[in-house]
Amino acid sequence: MIKSHTIENKFLRVKTLNIGATLFEVFYKKKKINLILNLDKISSYKNNKNYLGSICGRFANRIENAKFSIKGVNYNLTKNENNNILHGGKNGFDSKLWKIKNYSKSHISYIYTSPDGEEGFPGKLKTICKYSIKNSSLKVEIISKTSKFTHVNLVNHAYWNLDRTKKDIFNHYLMINSDFHTQNNKQSIPNGKIIANKGTFFDFNKFRIIGEQIKRKGCGFNENFIVRKNSNLVAKLFSPRSKIILKIFSNQPGVQFYTGQNLKFRSKKKNIKKYQGLCLETQAFPNAPNNIKFPSTLLGPSQIYKHNIRFEISLIK
């Protein structure tokens, strides 16, 4: 059964769901605005095709040809996007009912244990996802342990829109702390080439208006940006309408900037359309299991996977 839980202080009210350990609402009290997209009701999350707010895994983003090898052993994974695997397969972590580990006014921890062989991945993987708030910051901590060598890449897939009326994200200003991105092939999978952002429409080194960059590119963004190693600052997002600025910090090497061009949801109460929200998914590189030049996503039984994210919310007057 899908259930919601709320953590709250005088700055934020954060509502989560046990399905997919999902972020349902990030309500900023100073401006009385929910900063993320959500569906019309919690029962709709049984079929959350856009992954709104969910934890995606075991391996978020794409693995080419839905396969990899570990120590000479080949593993065939579930194909759910053409010949590839996206966000963990047909029944990834976003669709699972997570159990509550502990819960207070300021934090909630969910736990899910993925059996050995689920969606083709080796090893029994135990994952804890903790949401906590302090002042106007939301922290997400994801920790995993495995029984066998496996590949792990877990992300939070929230769609941000800092405006009160969420028409689109074209007016938002974005800065990404990155000098390079991984070039995609036609299936949105990195082809192995590392491309400099400077002088191109991928240059978000300082604040850029997202709508103008999309116009320059001729289509929406869905690329992995390589985060500079000198800082855990990943990106800043600003809305001139609400005057809200969102700062994102993480310990991951990449961030997937996705402008929501494939967003689609319609019900009697709600209509979500393309470009209505954007994702900044801190992550390992897509298809890393098949590219030895990318930072490794291999996790062994003696290791712990740790993914930390901090969303800092404030106003610019």
Express each pLDDT in 55-113 by its tens digit: 999 999 999 999 999 999 999 999 999 999 999 999 999 999 999 999 999 999 999 99
Q: What is the mean pLDDT of the chain?
A: 97
Per-residue pLDDT of 275-298, as tens digits, reads 999 999 999 999 999 999 999 999
pLDDT at 274 over 90: yes
What is the band of 260 on the pLDDT scale with cuts at 50, 70, 90? very high
Per-residue pLDDT of 233-246, as tens digits, reads 999 999 999 999 99
pLDDT at 32 over 90: yes
**pLDDT for 181:** 98
Question: How far, in Å, CA of 193 to CA of 66, rounded?
Answer: 20
What is the band of 317 on the pLDDT scale with cuts at 50, 70, 90? confident
**pLDDT for 54:** 98
| C-alpha dist (Å) from residue 292 to 68, 86, 93, 120, 288 | 12, 20, 26, 21, 7
